[in-house]
Structure 1
Amino acid sequence: MRHRLGTLGQHAALFAVTSAVFIGAFIGAVPANAQSTEVQPSDRSFMVSLRQANSWLVPVSKEAPARTTNAGISNAGRDIFEGHSRLDVDLLKAAGELGVVLPNDVSSEHQALINEMEGRTGDNHDRAYATIVRQTQGGLLVMATQTRATTQNTTIRTLAHQTVQMLIRTMTVLENTGQVDPSALELVTAKAQVNAVRVIGQNIEPSDRELLVLLMQHSLWQKPASRESSDRARDAKVRKVAGQLAAEHTQLVAAVNEAAGQIGVDLPAEPTTEQKSWANAISSSSGEELDRMYANLSRAADGSLIVQVARARATTKSVPARVAAQTGLTLLLKHMLLLEGTGLVKSNSLQMTDVPAITQTRSNASPPAQPDDSSTSVGFLTGIAVLVVAGAGTLWLVRAIGHRGGHRR
């Protein structure tokens, strides 16, 4: 089953990248940084989900400092309140510009949660607040990252980018309080990504190993390709961006190596067969063709990988793997923005499906299936499901945490 999923991931990633680059670059797809006013259902779903999350995270976080004596929770509450308040202002502005109707009222489930939290103080409040907020933010991170990687609407792309940046920061602040229950790291989507078979003699989550291997293989092809492009690209902007990416992959490799050493993961020494083909395509190009090839292949690969890295950041219980995921997520987000800033990234390079497979070779390969919009839609629907389930389960979490701590209102 694992091999089959890996093979399918390879096919989907290869087809998506090649179609995005060669079709997009050579038949004149619009640049990704061009203004698009069209709002896809997945874009609308993201905006509605963000609005619903803000509707209860803002008031609950505003009250957090008054309900705790824990300095970490107090600081986290203020940070989360300010972050989601700013996001809500930007969200409402974007919705007005795009004609998207957003809910104005708090849902009955979220209002019940607000009411439930109002009576909690001290340790009783702290554990419940840290856990339910972290769980909600984890689900929102995955959805916002998916939107950031795939949306062709530049207004929504900016909003999603800001959302991911804010969540990366506030999730870390919340985790550092030491009050987050492990249940907050379990997303509905995460379980389907984890292979149940463990490596004998190693206490390693397969998903953590896959994360580190994916990040290393990504650097193993993109760092040398970026170094070469920084020397050979015709466009000065492309040369500058490529040079920055090459330099920053050193930081990513260091973070991955450190995490791998701490948790005992053997890392690959070469990129995948597909990734080698991408590097070869860049090497065999020159002039404007090289510029377009490098920008589109790199942006497509970053967009494919960043969603799985975000999922790992939201769910891993391993601190070393979390640090590596945080570094990877931050750099990939930055690199996508830099590549889009060249003006050469075509809109088709944003239409990614699955992440690149981590296996070095493949056998009995079948022809790649034609990707369609359903895979992206499924990703967004899954993200919505995460938030819905989190919302429906938060009251149970609050009561369960309160009961575990032996505190009563």
Structure 2
Amino acid sequence: MRHRLGTLGQHAALFTALSVAFIGAVIGAVPANAQSTEVQPSDRSFMVSLRQANSWLVPVSKEAPTRTTNAGISNAGRDIFEAHSRLDVDLLKSAIDLGIVLPNDVSSEHQALINEMAERTGDNHDRAYATIVRQAQGGLLVMATQTRATTQNTSIRTLAHQTLQMLIRTMTVLENTGLVDPSALELVTAKAQVNAVRVIGQNIEPSDRELLVLLTQHSLWQKPVSRESSDRARDAKVRKVAGQLAAEHTQLVSAVTEAAGQIGVDLPVEPTTEQKSWANAISSSSGEELDRMYANLSRAANGSLIIQVAQARATTKSVPARIAAQTGLTLVLKHMLLLEGTGLVQANSLQMTDVPAAAQTKSNNSPPPQPDDSSTSIGFLTGIAVLVVAGAGTLWLVRAIGHHGEHRR
């Protein structure tokens, strides 16, 4: 099943949902960077899934250099082994601190996968390793992004952030081997075969077009409002963060423009109506109100966008779109961390709500509408289902690869 970005209309509706309910200081609201020990079921599921993935990625990657003569696979195996081993240490420490019990034993399915890979040699091994590991990491990327964007537990947020940074790098290392089959770019593989490394054509996927449009519109409102906030914000920390965001959006615009030129996508020249309303709200405020508005609206918008960019990064078959998604994912992740570091981001800015635009208000005396967790929960369950199904189907994928490898011989 192919995961794609939704329609532009759906994206606009989602951005509308990230309304100015996040505006203003809310009396009694918890800052996003305040220590939180509450663990949601979605947080626990993320940690369990990450532990299960590490349980087979670590041993399979450890053996990869000894089972190949391909320098790219050898380097990728060492890199992935070290990265997932370090991540597993931090994961177990966080679990102990939070009182979460994680599985210690490798599942029967994953043990069978480890055994299957141990029997492979040469090109048969290399293609199987590159394909199944890249597919597994794509599923982890989507789940980690969802957790990073919405969790209110600071320990788990740090773990998800670390996971994303690692995956952004190691996925690229695998892709650069040239042995990752396009089937690995589908988060759930129903029919997967590896015949050879197929040349991906230049046909424009709707999801690639929408990715570039979304990133462009995000910069069209974030860059000028960040530049303005760097001049007008009262808090020196906010001014510094806003200035950095404004400067780095130039890098994002450049990457997106280059990709659009290569694959033939016309980019918008204006942000959406909702984004204009956010920019106007920030521009019409001043002092502490401006600081709070800028930090919370920007963090909410970044949190929504990064989930969609992560899905595009995991699934796109277009190299130019992948490069743009990689740049967007790296920068948006960094910007979320910087905004949270201002100390002004409220916990409800980490959630997606169903508050209509008409309900938005700048008044500090009126409490914001309570967030509806349903969309967030659905997003988490979708990510979890993707990873579980992908993991369960991995063994089948390897067997399919093996059968084709045997037929080729």
TM-score if structure 2 supplies the norm length?
0.89
Is the 2:5–2:211 Cα contact (8 Å) retained in structure 1? Answer: no
Instruction: Go from structure 1 to structure 2 and tell me whether the alpha carbon gap of 1:331 and 1:261 turns closer, same or farther (over 3 Å shift).
Output: same
C-alpha distance in 2, partners of 1:196/1:176? Answer: 16
Alignment CA distance shift 1:310-1:200 (3 Å): closer
The corresponding residue for 2:293 is 293
- Partners of 1:194 and 1:29 in 2: CA distance: 52
Contact 1:24–1:348 (8 Å) recurs in 2: no
Do the aligned partners of 2:22 and 2:296 also contact (CA within 8 Å) in 1? no
* Aligned-pair CA distance for 1:381: 1.4
Report Cα offsets for 1:174-194 as digits up to 9, x if no partner: 000011011100014999999
Stretch deviating more after TM superposition (46-55 or 345-354)? 345-354
1:404: Cα distance to partner?
2.2
Could you say which residue in structure 2 is the equivalent of 1:213? 213
Change (3 A) 1:383 1:7: closer
Change (3 A) 1:204 1:371: farther
**In 2, Cα distance between equivalents of 1:225 and 1:20:** 15
Residues 19 and 357 in structure 2, CA contact (< 8 A), matched pair in contact too: no
The question of whether the paired residues in 2 share the 8 Å contact of 1:304 and 1:354 is answered with no
State which drifts further: 336-345 or 395-404. 395-404
Give the deviation of 1:38 after TM superposition. Answer: 0.1
CA drift at 1:101: 0.7
Give the deviation of 1:373 after TM superposition: 1.6
- After TM superposition, the structure 1 stretch with the greater mean CA deviation from structure 2, 17-26 or 244-253, is 17-26
Q: Is contact 1:218–1:271 with CA below 8 Å preserved after alignment? A: yes
**Residues 1:73 and 1:66: Cα distance change in structure 2 (over 3 Å):** same
Shift of 1:119: 0.8
Q: Secondary structure at the match of 2:407?
A: coil
Q: Distance in 1 between matches of 2:273 and 2:135?
A: 37
Deviations 1:148-170 (A, max 9, x none): 00000000000000000000000
1:41–1:9 Cα change, 3 Å: farther
Q: Is the 8 A contact 1:20 1:351 kept in 2?
A: no
- In the TM superposition, residue 93 of structure 1 has moved relative to its aligned partner by 0.3
Distance 1:277 1:254, change over 3 A: same
Alignment partner of 1:184 is 2:176: no
Cα deviation, residue 7, structure 1: 8.8
Counterpart CA distance in 2 for 1:4 and 1:62 is 33
| Aligned residues of 2:128 and 2:401 also touching (Cα < 8 A) | yes
CA contact (8 A) 1:21 1:346 kept: no
Displacement of 1:109 in angstroms is: 0.4
Deviations 1:239-269 (A, max 9, x none): 0000000000000000000000000000000
Q: What is the rounded CA distance, in whole Å, between the counterparts of 2:102 and 2:273 in structure 1?
A: 45
Is the CA contact 1:241–1:339 (under 8 Å) kept in the aligned structure 2?
A: yes
Structure-2 residue corresponding to 1:203: 203
State the Cα distance separating 1:408 from its structure 2 match: 9.2
Q: In the TM superposition, what is the alpha-carbon distance from 1:379 to its structure 2 partner?
A: 1.3
Q: Give the equivalent residue in structure 2 for 1:163.
A: 163
Please give the alpha-carbon distance, in whole angstroms, between the structure 2 residues aligned to 1:138 and 1:11. Answer: 22
User: What is the CA-CA distance between 1:26 and the residue it aligns to?
Assistant: 2.6
Q: What displacement does 1:386 show?
A: 1.4
Q: Judging changes above 3 Å, is the alpha-carbon distance between structure 1 residues 197 and 139 closer, same or farther for their aligned structure 2 residues?
A: closer
* Partners of 1:84 and 1:256 in 2: CA distance: 30
Structure 1 residue 25 displacement after superposition: 2.6
Structure 1 residues 231 and 198, CA gap change in structure 2 (3 angstroms): farther
CA, structure 1 residues 206+356, in 2 after alignment: closer, same or farther (shift >3 Å)? farther
Q: Return closer, same or farther for 1:158/1:195 CA change in 2, 3 Å cut-off.
A: farther
What is the distance in 2 between the residues matched to 1:3 and 1:380? 15
Would the aligned equivalents of 1:44 and 1:100 in 2 still touch at CA under 8 Å? yes
**Any idea what the Cα deviations from partners look like across 1:91-118, whole Å, max 9, x if unmatched?**
0000000001101110110000001011
Confirm or deny: 8 A CA contact 1:272 1:359 kept in the other structure. no
Separation in structure 2 between the aligned mates of residue 4 and residue 120 of structure 1, nearest angstrom: 33
How high is the TM-score relative to the length of structure 1? 0.89
User: Unpaired segments of 5 or more residues in structure 2?
Assistant: none
Partners of 1:11 and 1:367 within 8 A in 2? no
Q: Distance in 2 between matches of 1:273 and 1:191?
A: 41
Q: How many residues align?
A: 409
Alpha-carbon distance, 1:355 to partner: 14
**Distance in 2, Cα, partners of 1:249 & 1:262:** 20
Checking the alignment, whether the CA contact within 8 Å between 2:19 and 2:360 is kept in structure 1 is no
Q: Is the alpha carbon distance of 1:253 and 1:198 closer, same or farther for their aligned partners in structure 2, counting shifts above 3 Å?
A: farther
CA deviations over 1:254-292 (Å, ceiling 9, x no partner): 000000000000000000000000000000000000000
CA offset digits 1:56-94 (Å, max 9, x no partner): 000000000000000000000000001100110000000
Q: Note closer, same or farther for the CA distance 1:135–1:8 as it changes in structure 2 (3 Å cut).
A: closer
Deviations 1:338-372 (A, max 9, x none): 00000000000000269999999999999999962
The farther-off stretch of 340-349 and 200-209 is 200-209
1:121-132 alignment, distance < 5 Å: 121-132=121-132
Determine if contact 2:189/2:393 at 8 Å carries over to the other structure: no
Structure 1: runs of 5+ lacking an equivalent: none
Matches of 1:362 and 1:35, distance apart in 2: 27
CA distance in 2, matches of 1:368, 1:198: 52
Q: CA RMSD in A?
A: 6.0
| Partner Cα distance (2:361, 2:6) in 1 | 10
Aligned to 1:117: 117
Mean CA deviation greater in 396-405 or 296-305: 396-405
Give, in whole Å, the separation in 2 of the partners of 1:283 and 1:243: 15
Instruction: Using the TM superposition, give the Cα deviation of residue 19 of structure 1 relative to its aligned residue in structure 2, in angstroms.
Output: 5.5
Deviation for aligned residue 1:297: 0.4
CA distance in 2 between partners of 1:194 and 1:66 (Å): 23
- Tell me the secondary structure at the aligned position of residue 406 of structure 1: helix
How far apart in 2 are the matches of 1:245 and 1:37?
A: 30
* Partner Cα separation in structure 1 for residue 403 and residue 163 of structure 2: 33
- In 2, are the aligned partners of 1:39 and 1:153 still within 8 Å (CA)? yes
- Provide closer, same or farther for how the CA distance between residues 217 and 11 of structure 1 changes in structure 2, counting only shifts above 3 A: closer
In structure 2, the CA distance between the partners of 1:137 and 1:232, relative to structure 1 (3 Å rule), is: same
Structure 1 counterpart SS, 2:25: helix
Q: Does the Cα contact within 8 Å between 1:15 and 1:370 map onto a contact in 2?
A: no
